[in-house]
Chains A and B, each alone.
Chain A
């Protein structure tokens, strides 16, 4: 049982002050902008929901929204199972292998985001790139610039290259926090590997996996620089994600429309996060835990 003491607020306060300054205040400001016409910042003109109406009325918004959700769905359904599987393989490996694989797989995480498309464009370049020349030589007819499917494949593979490490590190952290007693008990009960995974490992990984899932959803849903640099939303808008329009408005410093779009994106991300929490929030019994 934790001690009840409101003086603990004093310990939280510095963190809260900074988050208020760089998070809460800007969020309030951006909400405010979204209802205004700000030709210049000193000349606000109240518009009400005009910007929102423009967004909701445009067909482009819905097709972009659909593409963004599709991208997130593909990316999550590849990276989460793959990451969990690798973490499970690591769990039964020698310590040296574990640290080597973890070092390797986290390297893409420290590559600045604007350099990732550069690295990949070079890699798949048909004249100089290793993968590009291989594909050229094998005669696949790979063309990421004009073939929508190929652009999608490049984006998904690139995103997996970039982010798989995060899922693996978090999953592995969850798995290795399970005390050996759980496995011994499972062995006595004659549990199959699937049962161990389903009733011991998965519940114990729940917290870290939810974090991995939310982070991956948010970043893939808002993918901008990586996708833009590869093919600028092309071919023919096939990879024009939701963040593309927002990026343009922000580059142009169109405060009102950019703010309204920002709020829409914020609400979508929060709704998905909330729905996810509601769907997984009901506690199912976990092996070896007393029923509460």
Chain B
């Protein structure tokens, strides 16, 4: 294997960047174009009308809010139950620990569509359909395993002496978690939140079956925009807005991703 020169590498990265950005660029361009005939704005010309229409539409604004609510709830839930579980897997051995870890990974690779019908039936019975809470809960099925898997690696990398001195100092498990463990694995929490966010934000199968009449997230609100005369510009503007939180998230964790993280089984 020959090592690539600096120029060679730069060329590869530029080609890669173009491959990623060019399809998106078109979407962003169209989002600034009026694609339906309207009074005062010639069709196909630059305008902010699509973004203005989103602001004027209560349905679309609610969808953005719903998406943000469910994704935040989901990340909080996954971190809240994932951190203690990851700590247990990293520090202790207990009856059936490997089997349990394996079971969790099985649910990470279970196709979500397999679970969609019974989840719809179950959630309909307990009144969790058409609400962001239901989506937040159901996305835990693949996000809890991933958060335990990532956090376990980060916690394992923390020397055990941190725990031992803290307990000698009289910390309870809870105060140890908040005073010592969480600050020590902060980058890990960032990376975990990032992965939970991306997997939850983009998921459409479960989100669709759980929001037939209300509580629709951005993805489903976009689906509803398609019709007899689809306003492509509006669709693209919604898509661009749907990207903003994700890109912000990527930006915040970029250095932690770039530093790399250790994961093990």
Name A's B-contacting residues (CB within 8 A). Answer: 2-9, 11-12, 14-16, 18-19, 21-23, 25-27, 29-30, 33, 41, 86, 89, 92-93, 95, 97-99, 101-115, 118-120, 122-123, 129-131, 161, 169, 172-177, 192-194, 197, 207-208, 211, 214-215, 218, 221-222, 224-225, 243, 246-247, 250, 253, 255, 258-259, 262-263, 265-266, 269-270, 273
Residues of A within 8 A of B115 (CB): 22-23, 26-27, 30, 262
Contact B202 A105 (CB under 8 A): no
Residues of A within 8 A of B235 (CB): 118
- Give which listed residue, A18, A89, A246, A263, contacts B140 with CB less than 8 A: A18
Residues of B within 8 A of A27 (CB): 110, 114-115, 118
Main secondary structure on B side of the interface with A: helix
Q: A106-B250, A119-B239 are in contact. Are A270 and B106 (CB under 8 A)?
A: yes
Contact B109 A273 (CB under 8 A): yes
Residues of A within 8 A of B204 (CB): 112-114, 225
Cross-chain pairs A/B with CB under 8 angstroms, 5 sampled: A16-B85, A22-B140, A29-B118, A224-B113, A250-B117
How distant is the Cα of A102 from the Cα of B251 in the complex, in angstroms?
10
Residue of A nearest to B124 (CB): A41
Residues of B within 8 A of A30 (CB): 114-115, 117-118
Contact B258 A109 (CB under 8 A): no
Residues of B within 8 A of A6 (CB): 94-95
Contact B137 A22 (CB under 8 A): yes
Residues of B within 8 A of A273 (CB): 106, 109
How distant is the Cα of A9 from the Cα of B201 in the complex, in angstroms?
30
Q: Is residue B27 within 8 Å, beta carbon to beta carbon, of the partner chain?
A: yes
Shortest C-beta distance, B124 to chain A (Å), equals 10
Main secondary structure on A side of the interface with B: helix
Q: A15-B82, A103-B251, A177-B261 are in contact. Are A2 and B20 (CB under 8 A)?
A: no
Contact A258 B117 (CB under 8 A): yes
Shortest C-beta distance, A286 to chain B (Å), equals 12
Contact B246 A110 (CB under 8 A): yes
Residues of A within 8 A of B219 (CB): 112-115
> Which residues between 241 and 260 of chain B lie within 8 Å of chain A, taking CB atoms?
242-243, 245-247, 249-251, 254-255, 257-260
Contact B114 A263 (CB under 8 A): yes
Contact B202 A112 (CB under 8 A): yes
Contact A26 B26 (CB under 8 A): no
Contact A23 B94 (CB under 8 A): no
